Structure 1
Amino acid sequence: MSNVNRETLLPKVGRRSFLKMAALAGAAGSAGAINAATVTRDATTLELSKQFPGSKKVKTICTACSVGCGIIAEVQNGVWVRQDVATDHPVSLGGHCCKGADMCDMVKSSVRLKYPMEKVNGEWKRISYEEALDKIATQLDKYRQENPEQVLFLGSAKMSNEQAYYVRKFGAFYGTNNVDHQARI
């Protein structure tokens, strides 16, 4: 395949043909958007103010970062179904960033990891927390005995200053200066 000239495999598209196709794609996209406008609608005031049957409102804190903005979560049968901003929260004063506004959907996501998993023979299998922590501790101890500099401790935007201090101290006691923060990567 490496001996084949790539130019003979790819069709030639001139500037004029490209512009025609782009205009056609734009028109098709606009027509789809006009049609989709009738599919959704804004929630009514009654729908927004009325709770789900049997639900309760719980004041909580957003965990997307370390700021700790206030959220009022509506919980029905142990499931987070809707959220609102906590207007009386001293940090956020009723505001949210885009991550905090979507916290309810992140919690309900079908791809969210809900328990420890291990890949065995190419397949993911569920393991207990105790088993996961034991495996991590064993591997960390092995690396510390061989060469602690091969380990990196990575902080998170969810950490407070105090938590970042503890991660740095843990790295130092472990024997490495390899401590960083995910926001820099």
Structure 2
Amino acid sequence: MDRRKAIRNVLLGSAGMTALPSWANGWSANGITISHWLTADNEETLRAVADTLIPPGNAIGALDVGVDRFMMKLFAECYETDIQNGIEGLLSTIDKSAITIHGTGFATCGQEQRQQLIEAIAVSENESVRDSYDLFKRECIRGFRTSKEVMTQYLNYKVAPGHYIGCVDVKETNESGDN
């Protein structure tokens, strides 16, 4: 075997193991810097929709763990322009529907009014709006479930499975397998 290749592989492997904890842990809202690709009204609607999909209730909600910031960064940096335009159109459609039906923007509507508007969007005849909503909802749930707070406090996530117990008494057995 080539000694240089072996040394290089060991060094690359150890560098990978050193970097593992930094990306394997859950994300946190404090570490997210967002680029503002949405208008201020659409950002407010995005927060309100995330809060409607995962309200705080008795525990934490979407806004408590920063899902709104996660979604803004996710759509800005990980999705193409046509998907970003679809999300922006979705948020505008939701806000316009709220103004038409309730006379006020989506963010200022009550929780029941928001839920009714979201349910109407979910079954919309406009396929692009419905697809954008499905993507938005899926990413909102993923952002919530993978946040550091939810992973560690509610899902009991641990970076490395199992625990190492150094000193364990081992029972000796005879050849027949009896104690």
- Asked if Structure 1 and Structure 2 have the same fold, meaning a TM-score greater than 0.5 normalized by the shorter chain, the answer is no
Q: Which has the higher contact order (CA 8 A, sep 6+)?
A: 2
TM-score range, shorter chain: under 0.3
Q: Normalization by structure 2: what TM-score?
A: 0.23
Query: Rg bigger for which structure?
Result: 1
Whichever structure has more strand as a proportion of its residues is 1
